[in-house]
Structure 1
């Protein structure tokens, strides 16, 4: 009589994975105890013995044994909004909320269309810019040199993505052109830019470019840096998209040609949708890297969220609370990056189901 298969229980899987031998049992015990010790100390430092209010700052100075979150209570506006005028910071908050809302709506399948997703992001970005810059609808103008904190980080990321993604598609198409001159020239440009450090590109666009451009073409330093960053993003993303295109069976595009489809119809309806599906994991990874590397702009004088964090403990009152400030900044980065990664995982699962 055949034996009936029994699904292993959770206890069975744990025993098989972590306690199947003496060595596995010893390693599980040691590292489990170490993990519990680390968790216990973090909870004790960050929650149980922590000082949460700026009014109790003296407890931090007298060694409470816990985190001094009072610095966040006192300086959170500086971290989130930087040098933005205090009485206008509601605009900066609404601008950040607009971009977050656009990101959330991008997860809705209704917007998974080139025209809709483009219109959505352009609308969100314009709303963000109008709120931040002012000068319209009775809003007081606030110039770019007074932008800072999380809002500046989000602005750089959104602008780089909006400008860089169309460039990446164009670069990828030019590199796979049937004309050797165009393909090789584009290849040299992409490989050259990818071989350079991002910081050197930012520095060149921020500092060096004004010396070789006429005054009317120079523009604000912030926008020059965004253009340089978008160019860097586009070169990396172009290779990701080109890799997705190369994964397509050659017969699909040939069949589209045989049916009489024009070049742009083949690219728009056959090649690019499948290329983006194939290149989804590295594309999400590229967005994550782009968001994290916005912190590099602090080196060339911008007051983004990390630089704002430095300023939050950069006075005599809170100069001892750098760990707490950096922990708060790290939490901000974690929230955005984790949301991007989870969205990428959701898309992969949904597309995998659609392929079945």
Structure 2
């Protein structure tokens, strides 16, 4: 559950997990679906998570990112990957459908190039290779470079999902909006994107599920998320007898999160289909 996090400070990691879960649940409640409320929930939750995990303030002992692990690290990587990758995916999708050929073709080359690479190679490049090409002041911590690589991979796939949703919107609707004198951003924000996201919802939920399970790949660059922490646990003499129980417990955690996400996706589909009628 806590990976390499110091034993005497593990209560902070537990509270950080609760913070992420509460933040996610509140984001799924329709009453919070306004820009100001969502920003308040995510801003407060992210700040509280970082303070609890990092410490160094309010009398909390400092714990470096290299000691983060377990469920808290898994949730952190997943949430930040989606938080960074989703807006980036929308930008890439809009750029790919640009009327300027050099923009659309360059964006398409970037998307297809990222999608043609396995995630492990991208994580390894951002964690190990990239520091050799960057100045010291621009390198940052390895964890954040890994998150950026994961977000780039997520955005490349999600951009194609969003673009597919846009193609499902009848062209006449955007033409009608242009005839009414609506600006480009008004057409995108009020006509195109809402319908595109509804069309792309099933594939989007599937992409979120895949991204949550792919957090286990960060073990390749030295991070002990929940699955790697389980491997390390039953590798010790104290837990060697219980490897089946360890994997069953980890499987249960993955099942709870992924099944809940899938059921929420089904709820959104029902809600949107009611809106159509």
After TM superposition, the score normalised by the length of structure 1 is: 0.76
User: CA deviation digits over 1:188-237, x for unaligned, max 9?
Assistant: 00001001000000001111101111111111111111000000000000
- Distance verdict in 2 for CA 1:224–1:328, change over 3 Å: same
Post-superposition offset of 1:107: 2.1
Aligned mate of 1:338, from 259, 268, 271: 259
Flag as ranges the 4+ runs of structure 1 deviating above 6 A.
Answer: none
Say whether residues 1:129 and 2:50 are aligned partners: yes
Which is greater in Rg? 1
- Alignment-derived partner of residue 266 in structure 1: 187
Say whether residues 1:182 and 2:113 are aligned partners: no
Aligned mate of 2:69, from 140, 143, 148: 148
Aligned mate of 1:169, from 73, 90, 95: 90
- Alignment-derived partner of residue 91 in structure 1: 12
Aligned mate of 2:164, from 209, 231, 243: 243
Unpaired stretches in structure 1, ≥5 consecutive residues: 1-79
Say whether residues 1:81 and 2:13 are aligned partners: no
- Alignment-derived partner of residue 221 in structure 1: 142
Aligned mate of 1:290, from 211, 214, 221: 211
**Secondary structure at 2:187's aligned position in 1?**
helix
Say whether residues 1:278 and 2:203 are aligned partners: no
Say whether residues 1:329 and 2:250 are aligned partners: yes
Unpaired stretches in structure 2, ≥5 consecutive residues: none
CA distance in 1, matches of 2:23, 2:159: 24
- Alignment-derived partner of residue 202 in structure 1: 123
User: CA deviation digits over 1:22-48, x for unaligned, max 9?
Assistant: xxxxxxxxxxxxxxxxxxxxxxxxxxx
Is the 8 Å Cα contact of residues 245 and 272 (structure 1) preserved in structure 2? yes
Post-superposition offset of 1:322: 1.2
**Secondary structure at 2:241's aligned position in 1?**
coil
CA distance in 2, matches of 1:146, 1:199: 21
Post-superposition offset of 1:185: 0.3
RMSD (Å), alpha carbons:
1.2
- Alignment-derived partner of residue 254 in structure 1: 175
CA distance in 2, matches of 1:301, 1:293: 15
Post-superposition offset of 1:238: 0.5
**Secondary structure at 2:71's aligned position in 1?**
helix
CA distance in 2, matches of 1:283, 1:122: 23
Tell me which moved more, 109-118 or 172-181: 109-118
CA distance in 1, matches of 2:187, 2:37: 20
CA distance in 2, matches of 1:344, 1:229: 22
